[in-house]
Amino acid sequence: MLVSSHILTELEEIADRVVLVSRGRTIGEHAVADLIAAARTPYRVRAMNPQALTDALRQRGIAYSTAAGCVELPELGEADAADLLADLVGAGVRVVAFEPVGSSLESVYLVTTEERL
């Protein structure tokens, strides 16, 4: 089945493979799982004690910003995000939310098309 959409967050949930098109030309064909594993996306974190979270990030030299009661982190790959989460929990930070901001597929598409402009 072929599905064409500009709503990449939904495609990420239903597609096994994607063909990326920019300016009417195919720029890549990939397995969605491979793209997600390689993607770098910003993350949002919330902890029971926000000060403990920001202290732990500062100690690790990780840049962050705060917005709406959450801490926003720069782009991370899945493996780096998993390692950071394990590290924070291991340091006693009680993390209650840790999630990517946006879609991995969207991030890959934007990076891929930026390089072609």
Cα dihedral sign, 43-45-50-51: negative
pLDDT value of position 115: 57
Q: Which domains does the chain have, with CATH numbers?
A: 8-35+104-116 (no CATH), 40-100 (3.30.70)
pLDDT at 52 over 90: yes
Residues in a beta bridge with 71: 45, 66
pLDDT (average), residues 23-47: 85
pLDDT at 59 over 90: yes
pLDDT (average), residues 54-61: 96
Q: How buried is 84 (Cβ within 10 angstroms: 0-12 exposed, 13-18 middle, 19+ buried)?
A: buried
pLDDT value of position 48: 95
CA–CA gap between residue 33 and residue 37 (Å, rounded): 6
93 band by pLDDT with thresholds 50, 70 and 90: very high
pLDDT value of position 60: 95
pLDDT (average), residues 28-44: 83
CA–CA gap between residue 43 and residue 12 (Å, rounded): 17
